[in-house]
Structure 1
Amino acid sequence: MLLGAGQRIVFIGDSITDCGRRDAAAPYGVGYPSLVRAFVDARHPERELTWVNRGISGNTVRDLTARWDADAIGERPDWLSVMIGINDIWRAFTPGREAEAVPIDEYERTLRTLLRRAVDATGCRLVLADPFLIEADVDEPQRAETDRYAAVVAALAKDFEAVHVATQAAFDRVLRHSPSSRWADDRVHPGLPGHAVIADAFLTALAG
């Protein structure tokens, strides 16, 4: 397990990370951050870890930029987990919201800048999780675009020597045996079993 005793782990991202953490499910939400926290604490209670969820539904990298100082750097993480990009892509496929989509070059440039700022300001280590689409057909246009953005995240993980969580690959594994609808109604927002797929990928990556 890569997480050390007494460390502070901050999750930041969009609705997949938020998952009700600002409402009835405060402060951790009911998604993968809550599952990762629960299993890590159960397996390693002696490490007395602190967990923080700073996901906000609907966010893109542009939104993260506006709140990065407060919600990432200001939280003084030892580990900063970032999953962002689904909305950056999805908006391009949402009628009337195309202008809100974030082109891949802007996405890469913005995310790289944010990560560098966080590491330089706090000395944190990074966990970078791919954006995903729960869709088995790799030629489907939104899935194909998602794979391009996920490749950006994988490259950034190498550049920053970050822990890389291959969430798309995790969903591809289960999609070989079951339909997308088993994991999410809209291919984007997982139910609890889908969040368990993500959490399992996190736990495997953090095992070292």
Structure 2
Amino acid sequence: MILRAGQRIVFMGDSITDCGRRDVAAPYGNGYVSLVRAFVTARHPDLDLHWVNRGVSGDTVRHLAARWERDAVGEHPDWLSVMIGINDIWRRYRGPEAEAVPIDEYERTLRALLTRAVEATGCRLILGDPYLIEPDRAEPQRADADRYAAVVAALAVEFGAVHVPTQAAVDRALAVSPPGKWADDRVHPNLPGHALLADAFLAALDAAPSAPRPRAAADDVTGSRG
């Protein structure tokens, strides 16, 4: 396990991360964040980790940028997990189209946000791919999801982040089961769907090496905890 005792793990994202964490399922939500927290706690009760969910339903990277200082940097994470992108894509198909985020803006904005967080806090990063619960890779929205996920994978390499290939996890399930088993709308998972995501996060955390530092983190960052 790459996490260390007493560390603070902050999750940023959209509705898939939010999952009622601001109301009926406060404070962790009833999705993958809660499941990751529960399983890590059960497996490593000695670590005494601190978990924070800052997902907001409907968010794109533009929304993340507007609240980044408060909800990401201001939380002083040791680990910052970010999974964002489905709304950036979805708005192109479901509207309002003006709120869709082109892939170049998505990459530019996400890189700037990650750089800011690492330089300000010295945190390490966990980056989850945007995904679509759709087996046809030629379907336009699924093809877009794959393109945006490739951006995230490249940023994970650039920043030395833990990469969570959520689409690959979904695809393994879709190889033997229909999309409706995991979500009603191809985007918002039911409980088994969230378990798929949580399992992918846990596998990535277990497999990650402990040594690499983020590219954007200078050795003399004030308050860096590594």
TM superposition score normalised by structure 2: 0.91
What amino acid maps onto 2:188 in structure 1? H
* 1:155 to partner: Cα distance: 0.1
SS, match of residue 11 in structure 1: strand
Deviation track 1:130-150 (CA, whole Å, cap 9, x = no partner) reads 000000000000000100000
Does residue 56 of the first structure (1) align with residue 56 of the second (2)? yes
Q: 1: distance between equivalents of 2:59 and 2:177?
A: 29
Identify the residue that residue 174 of structure 1 maps to in structure 2. Answer: 173
Q: 2: distance between equivalents of 1:85 and 1:144?
A: 13
Q: 1: distance between equivalents of 2:25 and 2:193?
A: 18
What amino acid maps onto 1:194 in structure 2? G
Identify the residue that residue 66 of structure 1 maps to in structure 2. Answer: 66
* 1:120 to partner: Cα distance: 0.2
What amino acid maps onto 2:65 in structure 1? T
Q: State percent identity of aligned pairs.
A: 75
Which ranges in structure 1 are unaligned for 5 or more consecutive residues? none
Q: 2: distance between equivalents of 1:86 and 1:204?
A: 22
Identify the residue that residue 8 of structure 2 maps to in structure 1. Answer: 8
SS, match of residue 126 in structure 1: strand
What amino acid maps onto 1:49 in structure 2? L
Q: 2: distance between equivalents of 1:188 and 1:97?
A: 17
Q: 1: distance between equivalents of 2:98 and 2:9?
A: 33
Deviation track 1:102-127 (CA, whole Å, cap 9, x = no partner) reads 00000000000000000000000000
Identify the residue that residue 151 of structure 1 maps to in structure 2. Answer: 150
**Cα RMSD, aligned residues only:** 0.4
SS, match of residue 203 in structure 2: helix
Q: 1: distance between equivalents of 2:143 and 2:96?
A: 19
Deviation track 1:85-116 (CA, whole Å, cap 9, x = no partner) reads 0000000001x411110000000000000000
Identify the residue that residue 110 of structure 2 maps to in structure 1. Answer: 111
* 1:23 to partner: Cα distance: 0.7
* 1:204 to partner: Cα distance: 0.2
What amino acid maps onto 2:170 in structure 1? F
Q: 1: distance between equivalents of 2:205 and 2:49?
A: 14
Q: 2: distance between equivalents of 1:145 and 1:49?
A: 36
Q: 2: distance between equivalents of 1:99 and 1:70?
A: 26
Name the count of aligned residue pairs: 207
User: Runs of at least 4 residues of structure 1 off by over 3 A?
Assistant: none
Which ranges in structure 2 are unaligned for 5 or more consecutive residues? 208-226
Q: 1: distance between equivalents of 2:200 and 2:24?
A: 26
Q: 2: distance between equivalents of 1:65 and 1:12?
A: 11
* 1:14 to partner: Cα distance: 0.1
* 1:195 to partner: Cα distance: 0.2
Q: 2: distance between equivalents of 1:42 and 1:79?
A: 19
Identify the residue that residue 185 of structure 1 maps to in structure 2. Answer: 184
* Correspondences of 1:12-51 after superposition (within 5 Å): 12-51=12-51
